[in-house]
């Protein structure tokens, strides 16, 4: 944890931790030494709700390559989702292709 590279995103959603689901309000994204992953540096994301205390955290640590794959998957899913919500989109039309 010596890079102190941290980016923050305000988010709206839920995460599931050891005590069940809870609302999350922020994602803290950093590139630093992991706590658990067997890597020297990792892309770490903490989904947190500071109002609920330090334990309200769902943490993920992954390799830089994994993180880039994740970003691509998120963007692809969002793009597909956006397309399906465009005016004129029809399920029957999609299945006919």
Chain residues that interact with another protein, rule: CB under 8 A = 1-4, 6, 8, 28, 30, 32-33, 35-36, 38-41, 46, 48, 50, 53-55, 57, 59
Q: Identify which of residues 39 and 62 has a Cβ nearer to another protein in the complex.
A: 39
Helices within the chain (DSSP H only)? 64-84, 91-96
Q: How far is the CB of 59 from another protein (least distance, A)?
A: 7
Using CA atoms, how far apart are residues 80 and 5, in angstroms rounded to an integer?
31
Q: Identify which of residues 32 and 62 has a Cβ nearer to another protein in the complex.
A: 32
Using CA atoms, how far apart are residues 15 and 88, in angstroms rounded to an integer?
33
């Amino acid at each position: 944890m010596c890079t102190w590279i941290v980016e923050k995103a305000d988010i709206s959603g839920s995460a599931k931790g050891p005590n069940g689901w809870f609302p999350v309000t922020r994602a803290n994204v950093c590139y630093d030494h992991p706590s658990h992953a067997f890597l020297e540096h990792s892309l770490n994301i903490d989904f947190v709700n500071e109002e609920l205390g330090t334990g309200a955290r769902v943490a993920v640590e992954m390799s830089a390559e994994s993180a880039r794959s994740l970003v691509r998957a998120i963007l692809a899913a969002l793009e597909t989702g956006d397309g399906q919500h465009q005016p004129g989109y029809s399920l029957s039309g999609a299945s006919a292709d």
